A and B are shown apart, each in its own frame.
Chain A
């Protein structure tokens, strides 16, 4: 990909190279660009408006519903969907299953970018974002706060993910010595990254522990942290399947032909893992169902909604993963992955938005501006992801 092969000696060389790489490549009029550019521009206008006239001018947030789509989807759901990075680095670097090595770079990049953009979404949602450095500096450590923990973990995890990905950047810049050094850090950052992930994936659930009287009892449990952690594992696996499938068809040219077949094998392996994790998660849910005697609440709209989530989007995709693996059907596994992701979205939105203040007379629903900004976050992440993938050896790693 890189035309500039000569190593860079001076800063001027680097600058020139960097500017060259920043320039857009490929055709401008693609379906993705046609859809995403207007959305991103509209989103920017909405954000300008939001920072002048306040959160209420563009969102449907109220005193009863302080967290809406931006917090519930962009942050709480987005981070769960980015769980693939810690799962796959665990498999490849800690227990050394070489089979999945070829997807590590794309997955780690995805995880890193997801955190950057969802961390950014958190900034949009903050009422006073200029104070955002406060939890990190000086006299304002709120040690007792779960959100304080999450703030720190986001930052540290982004650093860890960046270091995990940095050998690729060094390779892109032809800095062989730096690459070797950065590569030697990988195991440490992976171990740190997994530990941090365990804590902030569960921490996002722990955010809602004190909201006990406001969340519908079918969704609130003192075990939310554990449920969030376990479901983030299969969310990550399903996300790799879906994202990898899309990458492999969009960036077909960048991938060596023989790795397409090995990618199918990877999908089967991930599907098997997802089947087992989801099966366990389903029984966690069943245990809570029995422990909290939730059958008393199951016979109304909320109960049916709960059953739809737990059976329709956890148990069914779990069985589909198992069936698809047994019968070697990629299509079933991919469908199951999409359903599992929908189940995660449903679960996270249920806890954070839908079943939050469920007894309120006027229920929250997102405004169109909130939806556009959410899409903007997703699309801009995809833009940056595309930039990385088409310039750096992400999908076509040599090792």
Chain B
């Protein structure tokens, strides 16, 4: 979008100004560049400060972190809580994993939404907008991580999921969970920078990490990326999702739609003309037999 606007203005301003603009644009931070959060699970101590911060900022259910013993059970995010931390027992000790919407860069939910209620905002966060939503729950069907949660108990239900604190990002703040994290498990920044940091950590401590960044290529790349000391399937990640962006699964079908709308009516009308106008009815295989039986 911005690039197109930029091109337009540069056409107006002219050739010399174009080169000036270009130089300036490269210096500034590109607002279109995707941001994300790096989660280094080797650093997480399971304090769940992120859960509390998230719920406080978004008026959701604030868990009693000290007493509820929630780490002993396996939890999923819900319509009351946008992020949860789970504990996994592995051969490298207890591993704590924060889960929330992954903010895919080619988001299945946003592609699925018939009203653009689920929308990829500038910079990558995927946000739900209630005034547009019809509550069809197609986003829930499509999301490979099953992250959008529906309020089944409300007459006026909302879809609840992490927004990467989009409203805070707009004000230049960091997401609430990142600010609350006491151990630097969470790191907010541009996706490029996050990937570089992640690779740097893997290469400088090759024995501490599996050599894979979850979310680098999964489902075409996600806003949240994860580092881990143990294989990802051991800490609750699906590793069978593939690297193909999910919207591409419907790409061919949606391409075919206008093609069929061009072609088929013409084909049908042609067929109709070929079979001739106002001709006597074509004899089916049984019409003759039918006549025979009728005469009897």
Is B247 part of the contact surface with A, judged by Cβ < 8 Å?
Answer: yes
Count the B residues whose beta carbon is within 8 Å of the partner chain — how many?
67
Contact with B along A206-229 (1 / 0, CB 8 A): 111111111000000010010000
Is B134 part of the contact surface with A, judged by Cβ < 8 Å?
Answer: yes
| B-side contacts of A187, CB under 8 Å | 269, 272
| B-side contacts of A192, CB under 8 Å | 265
**CB-based contact A211/B261 at 8 Å:** no
Complex: A132 Cα to B141 Cα, angstroms? 19
**CB-based contact B114/A135 at 8 Å:** yes
Report B146-188 residues with CB < 8 Å from chain A CB.
146, 149-157
**CB-based contact B247/A144 at 8 Å:** yes
Is A367 part of the contact surface with B, judged by Cβ < 8 Å?
Answer: no
Complex: A199 Cα to B254 Cα, angstroms? 10
Tell me, rounded to whole Å, the shortest Cβ–Cβ distance linking B251 to chain A: 9
**CB-based contact B150/A63 at 8 Å:** yes
Is B250 part of the contact surface with A, judged by Cβ < 8 Å?
Answer: yes
Complex: A151 Cα to B115 Cα, angstroms? 11
Residue of chain B at shortest CB distance from A57: B153
**CB-based contact B260/A96 at 8 Å:** no
Report A181-223 residues with CB < 8 Å from chain B CB.
187, 191-192, 194-195, 198-199, 202-203, 206-214, 222
Report A143-165 residues with CB < 8 Å from chain B CB.
144-149, 151
Report A107-136 residues with CB < 8 Å from chain B CB.
122, 125-129, 131-132, 134-135
| B-side contacts of A131, CB under 8 Å | 115, 131-135
Count the A residues whose beta carbon is within 8 Å of the partner chain — how many?
70
Complex: A45 Cα to B130 Cα, angstroms? 28
Complex: A214 Cα to B140 Cα, angstroms? 11
Complex: A67 Cα to B290 Cα, angstroms? 48
Complex: A276 Cα to B181 Cα, angstroms? 64
**CB-based contact B132/A97 at 8 Å:** no
Q: Out of B116, B150, B155, B286, which one reaches A53, CB within 8 Å?
A: B155
Is A254 part of the contact surface with B, judged by Cβ < 8 Å?
Answer: no
Complex: A169 Cα to B289 Cα, angstroms? 35
Contacts A149-B254, A265-B290, A269-B284 given: A144-B135 contact, CB under 8 Å?
no
Is A366 part of the contact surface with B, judged by Cβ < 8 Å?
Answer: no
| A-side contacts of B140, CB under 8 Å | 63, 66
Residue of chain A at shortest CB distance from B76: A63
Complex: A145 Cα to B138 Cα, angstroms? 9
**CB-based contact B114/A198 at 8 Å:** no
**CB-based contact A199/B257 at 8 Å:** yes
| A-side contacts of B254, CB under 8 Å | 144, 146, 149, 206
**CB-based contact A63/B268 at 8 Å:** no
Tell me, rounded to whole Å, the shortest Cβ–Cβ distance linking B296 to chain A: 11
| Most A-side CB within 10 Å, residue of B110, B131, B254 | B254
Complex: A210 Cα to B219 Cα, angstroms? 11
Is A297 part of the contact surface with B, judged by Cβ < 8 Å?
Answer: no
| A-side contacts of B112, CB under 8 Å | 145-147, 210
Interface of A is mostly: helix
Complex: A259 Cα to B139 Cα, angstroms? 50
Complex: A148 Cα to B254 Cα, angstroms? 11
**CB-based contact B132/A191 at 8 Å:** no
Is B287 part of the contact surface with A, judged by Cβ < 8 Å?
Answer: yes
Complex: A134 Cα to B116 Cα, angstroms? 10
Complex: A247 Cα to B285 Cα, angstroms? 25
| Most B-side CB within 10 Å, residue of A63, A122, A129 | A63
Complex: A212 Cα to B140 Cα, angstroms? 13
Tell me, rounded to whole Å, the shortest Cβ–Cβ distance linking B131 to chain A: 8
Q: Out of A63, A135, A210, which one reaches B247, CB within 8 Å?
A: A210
**CB-based contact B111/A144 at 8 Å:** yes
Is A256 part of the contact surface with B, judged by Cβ < 8 Å?
Answer: no
**CB-based contact A96/B134 at 8 Å:** no
Contact with B along A50-75 (1 / 0, CB 8 A): 01111111010111101100000000
Residue of chain B at shortest CB distance from A134: B115
Tell me, rounded to whole Å, the shortest Cβ–Cβ distance linking B268 to chain A: 5
Complex: A132 Cα to B135 Cα, angstroms? 9
Contacts A54-B151, A213-B144 given: A134-B286 contact, CB under 8 Å?
no
| B-side contacts of A53, CB under 8 Å | 153, 155
Contacts A54-B153, A195-B260, A199-B260 given: A127-B137 contact, CB under 8 Å?
yes
Contacts A128-B134, A140-B116 given: A96-B282 contact, CB under 8 Å?
yes
Q: Out of B113, B271, B287, B294, which one reaches A145, CB within 8 Å?
A: B113
Contacts A63-B78, A146-B254 given: A55-B157 contact, CB under 8 Å?
yes
Contacts A146-B250, A147-B114 given: A128-B281 contact, CB under 8 Å?
no
**CB-based contact B240/A213 at 8 Å:** yes
Contact with A along B267-296 (1 / 0, CB 8 A): 011011001100101101111011001100
Tell me, rounded to whole Å, the shortest Cβ–Cβ distance linking B84 to chain A: 13
Complex: A85 Cα to B110 Cα, angstroms? 34
Q: Out of A95, A211, A262, which one reaches B275, CB within 8 Å?
A: A95
Is B136 part of the contact surface with A, judged by Cβ < 8 Å?
Answer: yes
Tell me, rounded to whole Å, the shortest Cβ–Cβ distance linking A158 to chain B: 17
Is A180 part of the contact surface with B, judged by Cβ < 8 Å?
Answer: no
| A-side contacts of B142, CB under 8 Å | 210-211
Is B214 part of the contact surface with A, judged by Cβ < 8 Å?
Answer: no
**CB-based contact B281/A98 at 8 Å:** yes
**CB-based contact A147/B138 at 8 Å:** yes
| A-side contacts of B153, CB under 8 Å | 53-54, 56-57
A interface residues, Cβ below 8 angstroms from B: 51-57, 59, 61-64, 66-67, 90, 93-99, 101, 122, 125-129, 131-132, 134-135, 140-142, 144-149, 151, 187, 191-192, 194-195, 198-199, 202-203, 206-214, 222, 225, 258, 261-262, 265, 268-269, 356
A-B CB contact pairs (8 Å), 17 listed? A53-B153, A54-B155, A61-B152, A99-B281, A142-B116, A144-B111, A144-B254, A146-B253, A147-B136, A148-B114, A191-B272, A194-B268, A208-B141, A210-B108, A213-B238, A222-B249, A262-B290
The 5 closest A-B pairs by CB, nearest first: A127-B135, A56-B152, A98-B281, A148-B114, A128-B135
